[in-house]
Structure 1
């Protein structure tokens, strides 16, 4: 069974990985786990309190299939956890590495975006991360999947979900239906 580990931080944007984790657990029957700095409970931007399964420091890339960085305000501050080595190790080991919204800043800091097509909240959001991948930036409102790395702006939780499942080899007609179901509200009538 595939395992997804989502990193949550204080004030995380609870809507960004909600569809992904719900579909993973309820529809695909994947194992979903949550990790936080120090393994302490965190509260989301919307007031959702989460008691994690493990600490970020305890994540073992060999025990997961996808490592997901949920967005939140901490990623744009000096208090952001340094997960660069963990992200690089997971990618080298063939795992899916995904980030949405400000979580993409962690991928920028890790160097994983230096030679990988990616997106974010905007190209200017990555300038302070020290990354050298501006020529690989894709300016679009949907998630980007390249080389097992998924990135998305915070406004794209539906395509983020789809790209993570695609990266895991789970792209089927069922996924296409599910994506269409959640994207229907964005169709101009």
Structure 2
């Protein structure tokens, strides 16, 4: 079973995790033989946090109850508060997860947090554009590993820029192997282009259609 943790914090960028949380929770496009998954929100605090959109989210668990192994997936959204010291703990867990061959997926400000914690100095990665990490992470030395792409996967690390939540979600879904390949391709095309005919094609790939 894949244990998925979604880190929640004040000023969390709601839209960046919207695609992935909706699909993992609803399982509406999962294939018949999709791996088992469990999803929990996790934080440094047991108290509710307030997202950038004003939503109140009460974490399911605290960091010290996390399972850390090759089946762990940690999703780190963007936020305006990554610089605050209380988030150092989750970054330490992120390193432990990577060391255990688990998966870490970071977007927007979370990539800066990883860079500040020296996790991007020897791994291929992306962020909010060339120069962004240099500007804000003074100890960042991973320039030669930076790729000016919307989303970059380096084995079990997935990084993305602030405007690429859909493609980032696609990469996470692909890693989890919960969609058929044709379902995933059509899912991305539909939400990227909005053509209703693509949605009908997407529905035809689902188990209920007998394929």
Q: Is 2:108 aligned against 1:81?
A: no
1:144 and 1:138 mapped to 2: Cα distance?
A: 7
In 1, are the aligned partners of 2:44 and 2:87 still within 8 Å (CA)? yes
Q: What is aligned with 1:183?
A: 192
- More moved, 55-64 vs 32-41: 55-64
Work out whether 1:46 is the aligned partner of 2:53. yes
- The whole-number CA distance in structure 1 between the counterparts of 2:38 and 2:59 is 14
- Post-superposition shift, 1:2? 2.0
Change (3 A) 1:169 1:131: farther
Deviation at 1:143, TM superposition (A): 1.4
Partner of 1:119: 126
Q: Sort the Cα spacing of 1:85 and 1:58 in 2 relative to 1 into closer, same or farther, 3 A.
A: same
2:120–2:142: 8 Å Cα contact kept in structure 1? yes
**Greater Rg over alpha carbons, structure:** 2
Q: What's the CA shift for 1:30?
A: 3.1
What TM-score comes out, normalization by structure 2 length? 0.79
Corresponding residue number in structure 2 for 1:21: 21
Deviation per residue, 1:25-69 (Å, 9 max, x gap): 212473221112222211111111111101234323139531111
**2:144 maps to 1:132:** no
Moved over 6 A (4+): none
The question of whether the paired residues in 1 share the 8 Å contact of 2:69 and 2:101 is answered with no
- CA distance in structure 1 between the aligned counterparts of 2:15 and 2:91, rounded to whole angstroms: 24
Residue 173 (structure 1) aligned with residue 182 (structure 2): yes
RMSD, aligned α-carbons: 2.1
SS of equivalent to 2:41: strand
Gaps (5+ residues) in structure 1?
none
- Deviation of 1:163 (Å): 0.9
Q: Does 1:71 align with 2:93?
A: no
Gaps of 5+ in 2: 31-35, 196-211
Give how far 1:122 is off: 2.2
Contact 2:72 2:103 survives alignment (8 Å): yes
Task: Name which of structure 1's ranges 23-32 and 142-151 shifts more when overlaid on structure 2.
Answer: 23-32
- Cα pair 1:4 1:30 within 8 Å, conserved: yes
Quote the residue 1:144 is aligned against: 152
TM-score when normalising by structure 1: 0.88
Which segment drifts farther, 148-157 or 32-41? Answer: 32-41
Q: Map of 1:95-110 to 2, 5 A cutoff?
A: 95-110=102-117
Decide which of 5, 26, 35 is 2:42's aligned counterpart. Answer: 35
CA change 1:50–1:116 in 2 (3 A) is same
Structure 2 CA distance for aligned equivalents of residues 93 and 164 of structure 1: 18
